[in-house]
Structure 1
């Protein structure tokens, strides 16, 4: 099931229940920025955790604050960048790959959806260099995950590859340590 939230709108956003999210925000627009009592997640963070583009788009149109942080000091951008394929996604990709490349198209579709999510947040003015409790920015996480499609978006939005996390590593250091030469090259060009 995943995470259980004490705030119903957060749970609805996490579970992709657009109708419930819509009802809560219609009732009171301040619900768009409510923070869960347990971990401080907002509905926007909850939707970004799961990659629910429609809910993210709706919340952004309702002026959800993209720069609110949860208890780990993470914004919605941190979670959008950290979004990975689920086990079921991988299973479907593997099973459908031999069948007319359907698995490949599923993978491309999921990747494009994630790019759209990050682009929406950047367009809404999320602080691209916000650090979490570990001192990591979205760019740190994109580098760790070898996400070559998101790194250019973040760099274009002025993500700083020289920011060091609490372990003293910059995004460039992470790319170098993990031997992601193409990412290292992208980051060097941004300096």
Structure 2
């Protein structure tokens, strides 16, 4: 997991080659794809997807890889996940969507992308707040 967050592509390749379970989660429910979306290395995210990781998984707080990429401002990763058909309107435990994450974190290019991809701009979170 640490190698994914830090973007150590060669180490992750080596671990996968030697049988590492890329869909295994840590105590907080984060998998390799979650940590890669936090770290922001598009090559690593692409490798994990090509190796069959679950891009639809959510951690213990309901956060998906897409939400983490949106919140951390990783536009290329957001584009890749959308191309691979991740749910861009998924709602986590607090009622936040990827669009909420992008708005709260001030990632305007990601906001534009999500809206252009059909995200629901009228959906409030559980506190009744809109984007």
Bin the TM-score by the shorter chain: 0.7 to 0.9
Q: How many residues align?
A: 118
Match of 2:29 in 1: 73
Q: Deviations over 1:113-136 (max 9, x none)?
A: x11111100111111011011110
Match of 1:104 in 2: none
Match of 2:61 in 1: 134
Larger radius of gyration: 1
Counterparts of 1:164-175 in structure 2, within 5 Å, are 164-175=91-102
Q: 1:166 to 1:49 in 2, by over 3 A?
A: same
Task: Give the Cα separation in 1 of the matches to 2:115 and 2:99.
Answer: 7
In structure 2, which of residues 76, 81, 97 is the aligned counterpart of residue 154 of structure 1? 81
Unaligned ranges ≥5, structure 1: 1-44, 85-113
How many angstroms does 1:184 deviate by? Answer: 1.8
How many angstroms does 1:179 deviate by? Answer: 4.2
The structure whose residues are more often helix, as a share, is 1
Match of 1:64 in 2: 20
Match of 1:46 in 2: 2
- Conservation of the 8 A alpha-carbon contact between 2:34 and 2:65: yes
Match of 2:108 in 1: 181
Match of 2:49 in 1: 122
Q: Which has the higher contact order (CA 8 A, sep 6+)?
A: 2
Unaligned ranges ≥5, structure 2: 119-131
**TM-score in terms of structure 2 length:** 0.81
**RMSD of equivalent CA atoms:** 1.6
Task: Give the Cα separation in 1 of the matches to 2:107 and 2:4.
Answer: 26
Q: Deviations over 1:121-179 (max 9, x none)?
A: 01111110110111101111111111112111111122211111221100012223344
Task: Give the Cα separation in 2 of the matches to 1:64 and 1:147.
Answer: 25
1:149 is paired with a residue whose SS is: helix
Q: Deviations over 1:84-138 (max 9, x none)?
A: 6xxxxxxxxxxxxxxxxxxxxxxxxxxxxx1111110011111101101111011
**TM-score in terms of structure 1 length:** 0.57
